[in-house]
Amino acid sequence: MTIVIRAGAESDHPRLVEVWRAAVEATHDFLTSSEVDLYEQQLRVYLPQMPELWVAVEDGAIIGFLGYGDGVIEMLFVDPARHGQGVGRALVARVAEGAAPLRVDVNEENAGAQRFYAALGFTEVGRSALDGEGQPHPILHLERPLR
């Protein structure tokens, strides 16, 4: 089976929300169900605004996606059944083809995301005590220099 990375389309959005929800429920146990619901509604607004949206497809099914713009990975989510199988790495490789360092923010409470990005050469360059919504979920700011 071959994973294909292609540009996302508006018609992909319902499936991307499904992938997002499954991934968040599998990895973000520090969020309450009401927070997950709130963030899902925000995701529906953010998806059409992503400068670049990339989807990972295998056998015609979307198994992950990445939102990117201006050197920043805004979101990266993979179907939990596919975690650890190179889907996220393939998505990051697609946007790493640019000429700028890559940046990403991850929840400090999400150790799996920290390990994933560290394995790809990202290092911590800062920390915020609150997330983007002002909630007490600390954010680590990571960066990977040009390769």
Domain 3-144 sits in which CATH superfamily? Gcn5-related N-acetyltransferase (GNAT) (3.40.630.30)
Q: Enter the pTM of the model.
A: 0.93
Say how far apart CA 16 and CA 7 lie, in whole Å: 13
Indicate if the pLDDT at residue 142 is higher than 90. Answer: yes
Indicate if the pLDDT at residue 125 is higher than 70. Answer: yes
Q: How far is CA 147 from CA 31, 101, 126, 144, in A?
A: 34, 8, 21, 8
Indicate if the pLDDT at residue 133 is higher than 70. Answer: yes
Nearest residue to 83 via CA among 56, 109, 105: 56
Say how far apart CA 69 and CA 51 lie, in whole Å: 5
3-state SS, the chain, equals CCEEEEECCHHHHHHHHHHHHHHHHHHCCCCCHHHHHHHHHHHHHHHHHCCEEEEEEECCEEEEEEEEECCEEEEEEECHHHCCCCHHHHHHHHHCCCCCCEEEEEECCCHHHHHHHHHCCCEEEEEECCCCCCCCCCEEEEEECCC
CB atoms within 10 A of CB 52: 16
Indicate if the pLDDT at residue 147 is higher than 70. Answer: no
Indicate if the pLDDT at residue 97 is higher than 80. Answer: no
